[in-house]
Amino acid sequence: MYRVMLIDDEESARKLLRALINWESLNMEVVGEAASGIEAINVIDEFKPDIAFVDISMPFMNGIEFTELATKRYPNLVIIIMTAIDQFEYARKCVSLPVFEYMLKPMVRSEIYSSLVNVKSMLDERNKQESEQDMEQDLENRDETGESSIEQIKKYIETNYTDSKINLTSTAQNFGFSASYLSRKFKQETGKNFVEYLTECRMNAAMKLAQNNMKMFNASNEVGIPDPNYFGRCFKKFTGMSYSDYVLSKTKPDEVK
């Protein structure tokens, strides 16, 4: 089943797109969402989408910036740009990007369905041409060097977690591995997946910044998550407390104004 990701800062737009299409009839499923390009880059390796609907206008990293970055790292990712009519010409100027289609908002069910039928046809043909055996052989050939590289990769994460664009795929490419191979080996050797380890590094740093009364917006930028909403969700999931509550819990009585 083909995996679909919805990237739009408007929750209502994501909900509508989910409801408009009978995804199962196309052998597709919506596996994840993101409210900004920054959040999408951070979670895309977790969802592993084949298709991404991307709104052109989003805070912190817009749809064009996301597409430029994502298509370099994920050359097989099918991008469908969603844009309002007043932004359409701007979107069309970016024709050099490998975008499958540009669709106007508000989106029409029949047009979305027709586009997805074409996407499915392309993906079906691509899958026929790809050789799973060749990929597996490549992964096994790297087993000799994988184990010794994991410690280097951990150090790389610990040094570069402040880079908002770092993720599994970019790190794998930096070390000459495939993303699927690195994901498997990292989990085997550390007991954690790549995203968990990266988030742990960021949240440990964020907790220290919170103890120094740094404002959440500044702390989120400092640890490589410039989208404060996404940062806030990560922080609460990691600590069990909101950032502001954590700051208060660590503030000495004589520091309270």
Task: Read off the tokens for 56.
Answer: 């052109």
**Of 241, 239, 201, 202, residue with least CA distance to 222:** 202
Q: What is the pLDDT of residue 256?
A: 43
CA distances in angstroms from 45 to 169, 202, 243, listed in the order given: 7, 17, 25
Contact (CB, 8 A) for 77 and 49:
yes
Cβ burial 170-204 (10 Å sphere, 16+ → b, else e): bbbeeeebebbbbbebbeebeeebbbebbbebbbe
Rg (CA), the chain: 20
Cα within 13 Å of Cα(81), Cβ side: 30
Task: Read off the tokens for 25.
Answer: 């009839």
Domains in the chain with CATH codes: 2-129 (3.40.50.2300), 132-257 (1.10.10.60)
Question: pLDDT digit of tens for each residue in the chain (257 aa)?
Answer: 999 999 999 999 999 999 999 999 999 999 999 999 999 999 999 999 999 999 988 888 888 889 989 999 999 999 999 987 667 666 666 656 788 988 888 889 999 999 999 999 999 988 887 755 545 645 555 555 545 789 999 999 999 999 999 999 999 999 888 888 889 889 999 999 999 999 999 999 999 999 999 999 999 999 999 999 999 999 999 999 999 999 988 776 555 43
Q: How far apart are the first and last CA of the chain?
A: 56
Q: What is the pLDDT of residue 250?
A: 79
Amino acid identity at 127: N
- 3-state secondary structure string, the chain? CEEEEEECCCHHHHHHHHHHCCHHHHCEEEEEEECCHHHHHHHHHHHCCCEEEEECCCCCCCHHHHHHHHHHHCCCCEEEEEECHHHHHHHHCCCCCCCCEEEECCCCHHHHHHHHHHHHHHHHHHHHHCCHHHHHHHHHHCHHHHHHHHHHHHHHHHHHCCCCCCCHHHHHHHHCCCHHHHHHHHHHHHCCCHHHHHHHHHHHHHHHHHHCCCCHHHHHHHCCCCCHHHHHHHHHHHHCCCHHHHHHHHCCHHHCC
